[in-house]
Amino acid sequence: MAEGDGFSYRGPMPDIIEIFSTRGDLAHVALLMWALSATALAWFALRELTAASRRFDEFVRELARFNEHFGER
């Protein structure tokens, strides 16, 4: 390839950005990015809440076992 032949490989992302910007669909891209990030944040929060619930349940069970063992005295 010669240096001035007018061809340059830009990859798929600049092409996608160019398509959306020429059609005026940047608002849709922004909405999609917002929805994806909100979904990821909700999934992360739900995962952390279930882990915290599991740890609390283990703590309560261990406390009950401790009270069974030492509560009679």
66: containing domain: 27-70
Instruction: Kindly state whether residue 62 falls inside one of the protein's structural domains.
Output: yes
Per-residue pLDDT tens digits for 44-71: 999 999 999 999 999 999 999 999 999 7
Instruction: Kindly state whether residue 19 falls inside one of the protein's structural domains.
Output: no
Instruction: Sort 3 into a burial class: Cβ within 10 Å, 0-12 / 13-18 / 19+.
Output: exposed
Instruction: Kindly state whether residue 46 falls inside one of the protein's structural domains.
Output: yes
Structure tokens at 55: 């740890």
Confidence of residue 17 (pLDDT cuts 50, 70, 90): confident
Instruction: Kindly state whether residue 10 falls inside one of the protein's structural domains.
Output: no
- CA–CA separation, 39 and 42 (whole Å): 5
Q: How far is CA 62 from the centre of its chain?
A: 33
Instruction: Kindly state whether residue 20 falls inside one of the protein's structural domains.
Output: no
Instruction: Kindly state whether residue 43 falls inside one of the protein's structural domains.
Output: yes
- CA–CA separation, 50 and 30 (whole Å): 30
